[in-house]
Amino acid sequence: MPATVVKFPATDLRMSAENVLRGNDNGGYTVPSRATYPHQWNWDSALAALGWAELDPSRAWRELETLAGARDRQGMIPHIAFHTRVPDRLNGRLRGALTTVARTYARYLPGPRWWGRRLAYDGRRISGITQPPVAATCMRILFEGHPDEARARALLTPLLGWHRFLLEERDPRGTGEPVLIHPWESGRDNAVEWDAPLWRVLPEVTVVHRRDTHSVDAAERPSDEHYRRFLTLVRRGTRVDWAQSRLARGGAFRVLDPGFSAILARACADLGWLAEELGEGRIAEESRAASARVADALRARADSDGLIRAVDMTDETTLEVTSAGSALALLAPGLGSEHMEAVRDLVTTGVLASPYGVRSLDREHPERSARNYWRGPVWSNVTWLCALALEDHGDRVAAAKMRFRMMEAIEGGGMREYFVPDSGRGLG
């Protein structure tokens, strides 16, 4: 039976969003969920900054500064920066209420010990992989609404360093796109296109003591078979001390993700715009050139239907799956009208379209699952990014349609991680 959808007034919705942000505020960064994701996640944090911009612009800048503080010695901003205790700023009553949640910090799998002795610029323990680099795009949006030249200028170099890392250490063959070495880097952990390359990874981890299924229905999370391989890749990376170029050249899992690459192309363009505004001509020039390089690489491998799909770099084969990655590819600046039209049709009326936003997977794919993480549900971040891309390419009507559908999901399904694409029921 379809879930009953109850819509909330706009004022209640805004209050609910504010309550989520404040309830997950760790002082300098926002956790995605205290029960399931109790640390600082990379692209979650960058997007949360846009929420803080509506409430407290200074706190929004702090979110991005804390994220940049998690960078490693190579400039990579990791997918997780770990926190091991409940923040001191919480009052006694709230600290007491979070006593059991505090234990989750230490028990999150894989915790900091899995990644080796990896330390961030600011001293925190960090993971050895990254996530979609939306931070520069979020900073540009924040700057346009709440400019702070000093704080923006201080973030230019860390974000430039991250982009350089992706286009140098992670592109050992000079393809123009970064190689992802773990499915988690895509932000779409168990997306169907990763199955083929991931299933070639022989699991070294056979027993998985998961905590995520204590707070979320297992039917809505990646399977144990996925986790055995996810954790095996972490173990192998730690074994070679996260030699990034080596893993990008010959690791067990190596893919090109059009969504990740396009986010990088857009981020480089946005960083270039910011640098120009701040009089940093060298950074502006380098960032514009980097954006064009990634966009050119994406455009060169578009399929006959105008869409761009993932590539398995172990054998250089295209992964024939139409997913959110192909929709997100539109974020790359300078793609032609043929590609724009293909993505617009894909997300508005095609196999990724739904009344509640952009599906994570082709609705006709045999492996689709309406409830399972990145194998079918709608995610608000993807829908929002697709709307941003459509607007950038001049289609404001389609962009408005995407935002309307996203709000339909949130108004009916609540402040949830993802949604059933045909009913709008909140999940995660």
Residues with Cβ < 8 Å from 276, sequence gap 6 or more? 284
Q: Are 67 and 78 in contact (CB under 8 A)?
A: no
Torsion of CA 244, 47, 422, 361, to 10 degrees: -20
Task: Report residue 198 as tokens.
Answer: 């991931």
Cα(193)–Cα(177) distance, integer angstroms: 18
Torsion of CA 372, 374, 379, 381, to 10 degrees: 150
Cα(169)–Cα(231) distance, integer angstroms: 22
Catalytic residue among 63, 257, 286, 417: 417
Which of 85, 79, 159 lies closest to 118, judged by CA? 79
Catalytic residue among 169, 189, 408, 411: 189
DSSP 296-356: HHHHHT--TTS----EETTTTEE----BHHHHHGGGSTT--HHHHHHHHHHHHTSTTEETT
Residues with Cβ < 8 Å from 117, sequence gap 6 or more? none
Which of 172, 385, 164 lies closest to 289, judged by CA? 164
Task: Report residue 353 as tokens.
Answer: 């379209």
Q: Catalytic site residue 296?
A: no
CA distances from 394 to 15, 21, 334, 402, 406 (A): 32, 32, 12, 14, 20
Note the Cα 405 to chain centre separation in Å: 20
Task: Report residue 98 as tokens.
Answer: 């979070």
Count of CB atoms within 10 A of residue 214's CB?
Answer: 11
Note the Cα 360 to chain centre separation in Å: 13
Residues with Cβ < 8 Å from 272, sequence gap 6 or more? 283, 284, 285, 286, 287, 288, 291
Q: Catalytic site residue 65?
A: no
Which of 321, 327, 378, 367 lies closest to 350, judged by CA? 327
What residues are annotated to the active site?
189, 417
